[in-house]
Structure formats: structure tokens, C-alpha cells
Structure 1
Amino acid sequence: MYQRILVTTDGSTLSKKAVRSAIDLAAATGASLVALNVVPRYPMSYFEGGVSISTEDVSRIEKKWADDGQAIVDAVETNALDAGVKVKAVIARSDLVAEAIMATAKKHKCDLIVMASHGRKGIKRLLLGSETQHVLTHSSVPVLVLR
């Protein structure tokens, strides 16, 4: 059925449920898993008043975010291996989360993307946006959304 499943995670309780489901699905179908955490880049603005941040501080903050993201996917890797599922832990550095998810799915030749959704509706969805909705509407790979 599936050969390679991409599961996205930010370490939240909701995404942990998606990870558990993805591991179970991979185990049931004999698929391998790609665990992805998208790490943002540090926002740089030249119009934020008099506060300037040194290049070293930006590098330090971005490294901390990457280390935290790696710890998240490493935990997924441990859980998947315990379940007998072959897994690859990946972080992507991008401010465009949905685009990074789709690019990673393409790069690793995934045939399913598993991700969580908060299920926001109305004004909250409009104001907060939805990375899941963006992936759903633009991905050429099937997407399984869990709440």
C-alpha cells in the first residue's frame, strides 16, 4: 500500500497523536517513515526600532531552534524503531512550513503525508491560517489529516 510515509511534528500534544498514528500505519503496511520538523529562520527586520541583534546571536538562536527540532524528530525515531518501523529523522529550515513539507515529501519520495490539524474554523482559521490546509490544497501527494 504505502512505501514511505512522511509525518510532520512540532512536538505538540496534537502532533504526537499524528506521529503515533503514522507509526501504527507504517507498521501495519510495512512502510518506512520520514519524521519532519520544520525549523523557522530568525526573522530579520530593519524597521523594528533601535534594537539590533548581532549575527552571532541570530546564529545562536537558529542553532537552538534546530537542536530543539532535531530532539523532536529523534524522539519520533526512537518510538518508530521501538515499533519495528524503519525511520529517518529530518529537519528542514524554512519560514514556509507548508512548502517545506511538500518539498520534503518530494525529496524523500513519500507516497503519503500524515499531519495534525487543530480544526480551527471561522475567524480563527482566517487569522491564524492553516499550514495543513495549504498542504491539502497544493500537495501532489495524498494527505492524511488527524485531529
Structure 2
Amino acid sequence: MYTRILVATDGSTLSKKAITSAIALAALSGAELVAVKVTPRYPQSYFEGSLPLNPTEVSKIEKQWADDAQKMLDTVVKAGKAKGVSVKPVVVKSDIVSDAIIATAKKQKADLIVMASHGRRGIKRLLLGSETQQVLTHASVPVLVLR
């Protein structure tokens, strides 16, 4: 059925449910799981909302974000191993989460993307947008959205 499934996580409760479902689906179909966490880049200018920090401090902040993402993905690897699923952790640095997820799915040759929907409605959805909606709209592989 599937050979490589990509699951996107942001550490939220809903994305943890998506991880559980993705692991179960990977175990059922004998697929490899690619777990991806997108981390932002530190804002570079005052107009982007950055605080005036020197490059060393910016590097420390970005390293902390990457380390936190890796720890999050390590728990996915551990959960996958417990179910007999091979999990490849991938940390991606990007300001546009949906583009990073789609690009990672393409690079990793995933044939399914699994992610959570945060269920925003009305004006919040219009103002905040939806990374899930963007992935659904622009991905070239099937997307399984879990609530």
C-alpha cells in the first residue's frame, strides 16, 4: 500500500495523535516512517520582529530550537521502534511550514503525508491560515488529515 509515510509534528496534542495513527498505518502496511519537525529561522531584521542580538546569540537560539525539535523527533523514533516501525527523523529549518513539509515529502519520496488539523474556523482560519490546508492544496501525494 504505502512504502514511505511522512508525518509532520509540532508537538501539540493533535499532532501526537497523528503520530500514533501514522505509526499504526506504517506498521500495518510495512512502510518506513519519516517524522518531520519544521523549525523557524530567527528573524533577521527589526521589521521581521527580531530583537537586536549578535550572531552568536542568534546561533544559540537556533541551535536550541533544533535541539528541541530533535528531542521531539526522538520520542517518535522510540514510539515507532516499540511498534516495529523504522522512523527517520528530519528537522527542517524554514519560515513556511507547509512548503517545508511538501519539499521534505518530495525529497524523501513519501507516498503519503499524515498531519493533524487544528480545526480553526471562521475569522481565525482566515487570519491565521492553515498549514494543513496549504499542504492539502499543493501536495502531489495523498494527505491524511486527522482531527
TM-score range, shorter chain: over 0.9
TM-score by length of 1: 0.96
Secondary structure, aligned partner of 1:95: coil
Task: Name the SS for the 1:52 alignment partner.
Answer: coil
Runs of 4+ in structure 1 off by over 3 angstroms are 46-49
TM-score normalised according to structure 2 size? 0.96
- Alignment partners' CA distance in 2, 1:47 and 1:104: 29
**Residue pairs, 1:71-82, within 5 angstroms:** 71-82=71-82
Q: Give structure 1 stretches of 5+ with no counterpart.
A: none
Distance 1:48 1:33, change over 3 A: closer
User: What's the counterpart of residue 3 of structure 2?
Assistant: 3
- How far has the Cα of 1:46 moved from its partner? 3.5
Superposed, 1:1-147 pairs within 5 Å as: 1-47=1-47, 52-147=52-147
**Residue type of the alignment partner of 1:109:** K
| RMSD over aligned Cα atoms | 1.3
Indicate the SS of the match to 1:62: helix
Give the % identical residues.
68
Q: Kindly provide the amino acid, as one letter, of the partner of residue 62 in structure 1.
A: E
- The runs of 5 or more residues in structure 2 that have no matched partner are none
Alpha-carbon distance between aligned partners in 1 of 2:117 and 2:130, rounded to the nearest angstrom: 8
